C-alpha cells in the first residue's frame, strides 16, 4: 500500500472486497427504504391506504393464489399478501434493531464498570448476567411478555434483556484488555478521572467488537420478534408483522401454501443480510485475520 491508511479506511477497503457483505448491506438498505416508504405513505394518506388495502378485508379474494392482480396472492381475509409483507417490514426491522440498541446501551456501561473496577463490582454484575443467560433466551422473552402484556414496548424490553448480558460480557472483555495499556496509565498521570478514561479512552476501543455483535444480533432479534409474534406474544393481528402473518398461514397451509412461503422468504433474506453484513464487518475489523 502506498500511503498510510487510517484503521477505518483499511477496514472499509477490506469490507468492500467482500462481495457477500456488500450484498448484505444493499439488502439492509432496501429494507430500510421499504420500511420508510410505508411509513411515509401512511403519514401522507393518514392511514387511509393502510386501512383500505393492508388491513381492509376483501372476502371475494379470500386465499387467492399468486397472480397478476396479487403477485403473492391473498390471505384468509382477502388482503394482498405482498402489501402486507411490505408493511410488515418496519416491525421486524425497527423492533429487531431497537432491541439490540437497548441491549447495547444498557449492557455496555455495566460491562465497562465490571471490567474497569473488577473485584466486587465485577463479581456482582457478572453473576447477574450469568443468571440472565441461564434462562433460555426465548423462554425469558416469553415470560416477560406474558407478565407485562403484549405491546411493542414490552416486546422491546423482553427482547433486550438477554442481549444486555451478551453486550455486558463483550464490553467487559474489551475493557479488561485495554485498561492495562500504557496510554491509560498516561491518561491517569495527566489527571483524567475514571469516567473520562472509560468514555474517552476505553469506549472507542470497544467499539468494533460491539458493532460486529450488533449486526449479528439484529438478525437473531428479527427471528425472535417473528417467533414471539407467531406464538401470539408479539405484534398483534391485524398488524402485518411477518411472524404474525405466519400464524394464520399454519391453519390454511393445505389450501394456501403461498401465505406460508412468502413472509418466511422475507424473514430469511432479512436475517441473511444482517448476518452477511456482520460477518463482513468482523472480517474487516479483526486484525488477526488481516494478512
Partner 1 sequence: MTIPVLIGATFLVFTIMHFAPGDPARIILGAGASEEALEAMRDQLGINDSFILRYGRFMLNLMKGDLGTSYRNGQPVTGLILGRLGNTLYLAISGILFAIIVGIPVGIISAIKQYSTLDNVTMFITLFVTAMPTFWLALILVIVFSVNLGWFPASGMAKGFPGFLVSLVLPTLTLGCGFAALIARTTRSSVLDVVRQEYIDLARAKGLPERTVIWKHMMKNALIPIITVIGLNFGVLLGGSVLTESIFSWPGVGRFVVESISFKDTPAILGCVVTLAILFTLVNLIVDLLYAFLDPRIKSQYRTSRGDN
* Smallest distance from partner 1 to CB 279, Å: 9
Q: How far apart (Å, rounded) are the C-alpha atoms in residues 138 and 159? A: 9
Nearer to partner 1, 101 or 249 (CB): 249
Query: Residue written as cell 485495554?
Result: 178
Are 171 and 206 in contact by the 8 Å Cβ rule? The answer is yes
Q: Which of 77, 192, 272, 286 binds partner 1 (CB under 8 A)?
A: 272
| Burial (CB count <10 Å: 0-12, 13-18, 19+), residue 80 | buried
* Smallest distance from partner 1 to CB 217, Å: 13
Query: Does residue 226 touch partner 1 according to CB under 8 A?
Result: yes
Nearer to partner 1, 127 or 291 (CB): 127
Cα Rg of the chain (Å, integer): 22
Contacts 24+ apart (CB under 8 A), 14-18: 14/283, 14/284, 14/290, 15/280, 15/281, 15/283, 15/284, 18/280, 18/283, 18/284
* Smallest distance from partner 1 to CB 210, Å: 19
Draw the binding track, 37-76, toward partner 1 (x: CB under 8 A; -: no contact).
----------------------------------------
Query: Does residue 31 touch partner 1 according to CB under 8 A?
Result: no
Nearer to partner 1, 209 or 263 (CB): 263
Q: Which of 53, 94, 117, 257 binds partner 1 (CB under 8 A)?
A: 257
Note the residues at the interface with partner 1 (CB under 8 A).
127-128, 130-140, 142-144, 146-149, 219, 223, 226-227, 230-233, 243, 246, 249-250, 253-254, 257, 260-261, 263-264, 267-269, 271-272, 275-276
Amino acid at each position: 500500500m502506498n500511503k498510510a491508511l487510517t484503521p477505518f479506511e483499511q477496514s472499509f477497503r477490506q469490507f468492500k472486497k467482500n462481495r457477500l457483505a456488500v450484498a448484505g448491506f444493499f439488502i439492509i438498505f432496501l429494507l430500510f427504504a421499504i420500511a420508510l416508504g410505508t411509513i411515509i405513505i401512511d403519514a401522507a394518506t393518514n392511514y387511509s391506504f393502510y386501512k383500505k388495502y393492508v388491513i381492509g378485508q376483501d372476502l371475494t379474494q379470500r386465499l387467492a393464489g399468486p397472480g397478476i392482480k396479487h403477485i403473492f396472492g391473498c390471505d384468509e381475509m382477502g388482503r394482498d399478501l405482498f402489501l402486507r409483507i411490505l408493511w410488515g417490514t418496519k416491525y421486524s426491522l425497527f423492533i429487531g434493531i431497537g432491541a439490540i440498541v437497548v441491549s447495547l446501551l444498557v449492557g455496555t456501561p455495566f460491562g465497562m464498570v465490571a471490567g474497569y473496577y473488577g473485584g466486587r463490582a465485577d463479581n456482582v454484575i457478572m453473576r447477574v448476567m450469568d443468571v440472565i443467560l441461564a434462562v433460555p433466551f426465548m423462554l425469558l422473552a416469553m415470560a416477560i411478555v406474558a407478565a407485562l402484556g403484549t405491546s411493542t414496548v414490552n416486546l422491546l424490553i423482553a427482547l433486550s434483556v438477554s442481549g444486555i448480558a451478551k453486550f455486558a460480557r463483550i464490553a467487559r472483555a474489551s475493557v479488561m484488555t485495554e485498561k492495562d495499556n500504557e496510554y491509560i496509565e498516561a491518561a491517569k498521570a495527566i489527571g483524567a478521572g475514571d469516567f473520562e478514561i472509560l468514555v474517552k479512552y476505553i469506549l472507542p476501543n470497544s467499539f468494533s467488537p460491539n458493532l460486529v455483535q450488533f449486526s449479528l444480533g439484529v438478525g437473531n432479534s428479527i427471528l425472535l420478534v417473528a417467533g414471539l409474534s407467531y406464538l401470539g406474544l408479539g405484534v398483534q393481528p391485524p398488524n402485518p408483522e411477518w411472524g404474525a402473518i405466519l400464524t394464520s398461514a399454519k391453519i390454511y397451509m393445505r389450501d394456501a401454501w403461498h401465505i406460508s412461503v412468502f413472509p418466511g422468504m422475507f424473514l430469511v433474506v432479512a436475517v441473511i443480510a444482517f448476518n452477511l453484513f456482520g460477518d463482513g464487518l468482523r472480517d474487516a475489523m479483526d486484525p488477526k485475520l488481516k494478512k
